[in-house]
Structure 1
């Protein structure tokens, strides 16, 4: 990778941090035709036992399963695969639902997806996510 590009990316990330900004950051990969989108936000979970009936239609029409590796996001297209990381643990989920999020919360993981990376007792966790497409 171009060292000037690495320095510019590092400076941009540092400036974002100093300004308290979070959001999407496009990072060129080794192959110029592939681009990863990285972002940070808070993630929550849904699908406690009895909260939503199994098979209930999600916003995409796909049947809900609390154990499926799925997530809700306000704007990513249904079917988008997203790698979610919390404290070194990752899970790949597919966007199949929408949610009413406020503030810095942008992802609502199913119970099964959340348990792959954190204890549900935490409720809300800061995550980094990467759009895989």
Structure 2
């Protein structure tokens, strides 16, 4: 499609109001719902993802807690657990204990965002998102 044809297509769609509804859907995303904090010993099931790909966040960059970020640290981001909380995250028989030192901008079903190094302990990074059991220690 040439740029002239594309321009005509977009103008026609705008005139017909076809794009207005689509634009409105993206204008105000639904607010994220924070999860209620879990009591020590509570076991929950949710999805986990990872962050800290090479070059994504500079080593030593401050996390939300003020600690320097290290992609191979056994740490994680959570949207409601207090900083310093220890959490055991398990996936298919493998587990890792991480310390919450960052906040994540995610919502249910993703409950925890592991550093690259912590995710490596339980799954292959190519999986991206895995369903985990996690327990506040």
Q: CA deviation at 1:103?
A: 2.8
Kindly report which structure 2 residues correspond to 1:95-106, keeping only aligned pairs within 5 A, or say none: 95-106=100-111
TM-score by length of 2: 0.71
Contact (CA 8 Å) 2:37, 2:81: kept in 1 or not?
A: no
Out of 82, 86, 99, the residue aligned to residue 81 of structure 1 is 86
Q: What is the deviation of 1:25?
A: 8.0
Mapped contact 2:77–2:113 kept (Cα < 8 A): yes
- The question of whether the paired residues in 2 share the 8 Å contact of 1:68 and 1:112 is answered with yes
Question: Higher Cα Rg: structure 1 or 2?
Answer: 2
Stretches of 4+ moved more than 6 A in 1? 23-26
Q: Is the 8 A contact 1:24 1:39 kept in 2?
A: no
Once the 2 structures are TM-superposed, how far is the Cα of residue 59 of structure 1 from its aligned partner? Answer: 0.1
Aligned to 2:49: 44
| 2:125 aligned residue (115, 120, 123) | 120
Distance in 1, Cα, partners of 2:37 & 2:108:
15
Is the CA contact (8 Å cut-off) linking 1:24 and 1:38 kept in structure 2? no
1:1-133 aligned within 5 A:
36-132=41-137
In 1, Cα distance between equivalents of 2:92 and 2:106: 22
Gaps of 5+ in 2: 1-35
- Gaps of at least 5 residues in structure 1 are 1-22, 27-34
Q: Give the C-alpha shift of residue 102 in structure 1.
A: 2.4
Q: How many residues align?
A: 102
